[in-house]
Structure formats: C-alpha cells, structure tokens
Chain A
C-alpha cells in the first residue's frame, strides 16, 4: 500500500474480514446444526453449538442413517480415501512414465501418443456418461475400487505439468548420468524423480481433492452401498423422500466429507497454490 490512509485501511480489512465471514458462515451453521438434536435443528435458528456433537458424529460414523438407506459414514470415508488416493497416485504414476517417454525418447508415433493423451482434456466424464458406464459394466468393474478409480486416472493435465518441468531440467544432467553409466530407468529413478519431488507433491494435493470430490462417477458405477463415497452418499440423505431430513446428521456428514480435503489444502497451502497455478498454465 502506498498511501497511509486509515479509512482506506479500514475498508480493506473490513472487506476481507466480511468476505472471510461470508465464506465461513455456511460451514459454521453446518457445524452448529451437527451438534444439536434433530428436533432442535428442525425448530430452527441456533447460532451456537449444542451439546450433542459426540453423539451425532458417533452415530453417523458408526451406524449411518439407516432410515435414509445410507451405510455408516466411516465406511464411506474409507471408500473416498481409497478412491482419492488411487486416482491421485495413479494419475501421477502413469503420467510420469508417459511424459518421461515423450520427452526423453525419440520414437515413431511419439507425437501421436502425445496428442492422444491431450485429447482426454476434451472428453470429461460428463460428455460421455453412458458409453463409459457401459465399458465399465462390460469389464465387470461396477461396484469395485478399480471401477471407481481407473477410468479417471488418464490425465493430460499431469502430463503437461511434467513435460513443462522435464523441459527445464538441464540436458547436462542426463548426459552426466549417461557418462556415469546410468541407463534411462536408472536416470529416471535416481535423478529425475527426486528432482520432481515438489511438483509431485503439488500435483498430489490437487489430484487428491479432485478425486475426493468426484460425484457423478461414483454415482454411476456404484449401486452397492459398500462402495459409496461420502460425497455422493450425502445426497441420499438430503433427498430422503417423504421423511423429514435428519439435518443434524446430514450436516455432521457434510462436515466429515469436507474435512479431509480442507485439511489437505490448509496444511499444504504453499504446494496447493503452486500446483493449481502451474497445472492451469
């Protein structure tokens, strides 16, 4: 800030505090609702937490909402974790390998391979819902962790990021490694991979959140409650038909559903910002 005008400062901080408050407001109310009894919530309007926090969270984690046909949230959280980890690690693994091939080798069909990967950018799940579902069904992958994750792990974004990074690695490092007697995979493992550490971590944060927040895909490929993820499972509670929604439990679930990705972002803020800004470049 160049000027030192108290009023301007006040407005600046005021706006930011107000913005942050508006952002946090729905979460606060969700948390408040999750600490009351169902009856209290349905009477409405409390701004302060109640005393039912442990009971409510224990209920959703352990039993789920039997009335809404949802399994225990504990299981759903586990499923979400498996799916998010599989997607993040899978995307990173296959993109790393293919990018390594595309950048460090010259081989026939190299450019074709690159464009094939590139095309995945233009074909999000949302535009090929039914045929993708059919493929997964034909492969017998419905209601499985493989079905939840494998179809989502092709990634042009990760390939782009790694390509950009590999191009900045000095050529002399590869030459020095060759002179030291390292073959391609040895170079990949001993030099390229350790040098990519920060990029890997940043990408992992982004992809973990991407995987955790998947909604349409789990909705399509899971009919068995045992494979529900928490983000798609929550809608079964909110839309529980004729019954009055059990808002205190739904909100407890919502808090649990957002806790892991929010924790990841806040804890790894620097990597997250780096990952986000660089993948979109």
Chain B
C-alpha cells in the first residue's frame, strides 16, 4: 500500500494516532465478530448454565429450518423489489432532470431530501397512509375495489415495506444516476444527435452503456441496504407479520437473540450474514478496482 514519498519519522507517534480507531475496532467489531463465530458452534441449555460444543449442528439446524428458509426467500424477494423499483424510478427521474436545463437544481432539492428520513420513520409514514381504517391510500384502493389490509394479508404487508424502503432509497439512486449522466460529455450526445439519433436512441446506445458502471455499483449498494439497513422499517411497522410473512434475515437474527433467547441459532445466523456482507463487499471492491483503471 502506498504512503507519501515524504514521511515523518517518530518511533511512537503513529501508534498513538491509530490507537483510538484500532481500540474501538478491536473491542466493538473484531471481538464481537469472533464471539459470534465462537457461539455459533456452541449450544446453551435452557437456563444458560451449561454450554457445550456442538460443531456445525447450529448451522445444520438452521439450514433445515423451514422458517429460516422462508426468511431467506422473503429477504431475496424484498431486496429484489426494493432494488428494482427504487433504481428504475430513480433512473427515470434522473434522465428527466438531466434533460432540464433550468431548474435542475430545484428538482434535485425536491428529490433528495427523503434520503434524510430514517427507514423506521419512513416505515411509520407509509404505515399510516396504508392504515386500513384511516389511511388515505387504503381508502383510495378501497374505492378502486381493492380491500387493503396489511394486518391480515402477507402480500399487502410486503408491498408496504417495499414501498417504504424504496421510497427513501430513490433519492440516493437519483443522485448517483444524475451525477453519472452529467459526467457523460455533452459532445458525445451532440455527436449522436448530428448522426441522426433521437432522444430514445441516444439514451439506449450512448447514455445507458456509459452509465452501466453506475448501474452495477448501485445494484450492490441497494442490495446491501435492503439486506441490512431495513431492520427499522420492519420492526417499526409489521414486526414480521402477519405470521412470518415479512420476517427478513436481519429481523430474524434480532428476534431469535432478544425474544427467542436462542444464542446458538442467532450466532449461526450472524455468521451467515457476515459471509453475505463479505461477499457483497468483495464484489463491490472488484468493481471499484475495475473503475480505477479507467
């Protein structure tokens, strides 16, 4: 790894400088992570008095558990929908904003602020809008002949958390798409226009291919968001219900640890999640390396 060509010399100062960061990393990141791995191969009796080494039994049980499998499927569906919807909506808005000469900044201001709204608060807002008895959207749907009830219907509940999660994420994606579009040299698009390509064709043959790194990058970021940062949405609204229809993996880890008090199972789930994050981070970094070469 590179340093500066010019470096300072001191036998102790650099250690003092990195110490706070390393201390916090060790105490609150490395130690708990190793504990999670350690606990994932242990089983505690009901009173927490005895623990025994059980090897991979926790994992075997986890993968054999239909509830865990369901949570997995739920998470994948949830992530795919959130990523797809939020990226598509953001792309359309970004293309429009990129076409606008005047007022682009005003539109950006109007579109970016939902990013500041916490996922949990976003969840509560939409929870209110879709409330079957008093919510305006639920009422509108009722007029259209659809009887919305996320307390009873699992699909409705899922739709609710997808909308809440995507609503907030559109802002983020919009910013990156707009930055990506504005980074494309104007002259390229003008050249295509002189070659006789209309707006749609220009978008498909020039802008979209040049935007593909951004698309890929956002896909990874959105999946990470949907997997890990949406706990608040679920916890503040559906609480996994109805039944287990909106239990996503992160919610399940928490519930098994703090409500089920099943340490081994929760630790095993933590380890699985760690593997997923590491895989996603690796993908993201390979991508960054590639982009650096440009």
Contacts and interface: CB of A to CB of B under 8 A. Distances in A.
Interface of A: 1-3, 8, 12-13, 15-16, 19-20, 23-24, 26-27, 29-30, 33, 41-45, 47, 93-95, 97-98, 100-107, 110-111, 113-114, 116-117, 119-124, 126-132, 134-136, 139, 150-151, 153-154, 159, 166-167, 171, 174-175, 178, 183-185, 187, 209, 212-213, 215-216, 219-220, 231-232, 234-235, 238-239, 247, 250-251, 254, 257-258, 261-262, 264-266, 269, 272-273, 276-277, 280-281
A26 B101 contact: no
15 contacts: A12-B96, A23-B111, A26-B122, A43-B134, A97-B17, A101-B17, A130-B258, A171-B5, A174-B4, A213-B120, A262-B113, A265-B113, A269-B108, A273-B112, A273-B179
B183 to A, nearest CB: 10
Contacts of B236: 215, 234-235, 238-239
Nearest to A247: B128
Interface in B6-37: 6-10, 13-15, 17-18, 20-22, 24-33, 35-36
B199 to A, nearest CB: 7
Contacts of A213: 116-120
A16 to B, nearest CB: 5
A231 B117 CA distance: 10
A249 B100 CA distance: 40
B8 A97 contact: no
A116 to B, nearest CB: 6
Q: Is the interface of A mostly helix, strand, loop or mixed?
A: helix
Contacts of A121: 281
Contacts of B18: 97-98, 101-102, 113
B3 A102 contact: yes
Nearest to A281: B288
Contact of B117 (A44, A116, A153, A262): A262
B28 A129 contact: no
A102 B114 CA distance: 36
Given A45-B139, A273-B175, A130 B117 contact: no
Given A171-B4, A269-B112, A126 B273 contact: yes
Nearest to B236: A235
A239 B123 CA distance: 12
Contact of A131 (B32, B100, B170, B237): B32
B93 A167 contact: no
B257 interface: yes
B274 interface: yes
By size class, the interface of chain B is: 35 or more
Most buried by A among B8, B172, B235, B270: B8
Contacts of B217: 280
Contacts of B41: none
B232 A231 contact: yes
A273 B108 CA distance: 10
Contacts of B109: 266, 269
B24 to A, nearest CB: 4
A122 B277 contact: yes
A130 B30 contact: no
B69 interface: no
Contacts of A100: 17
B232 A15 contact: no
B254 interface: yes
Nearest to B104: A16
Nearest to A105: B14
Most buried by B among A12, A47, A130, A239: A130
A219 B100 contact: no
A98 B93 CA distance: 40
Contact of B129 (A29, A93, A106, A234): A29
A231 B120 contact: yes
Contacts of A220: 258
B116 A234 contact: no
Given A19-B93, A120-B25, A235-B236, A12 B175 contact: no
Contacts of B250: 126
A257 B118 contact: yes
B100 A29 contact: no
B157 to A, nearest CB: 14
Interface in B186-236: 189-190, 193, 198-199, 217, 221, 228-229, 231-232, 235-236
A217 to B, nearest CB: 10
Contacts of B35: 128, 131, 134-135
A94 B28 contact: no
Given A121-B281, A150-B28, A231-B232, A113 B22 contact: yes
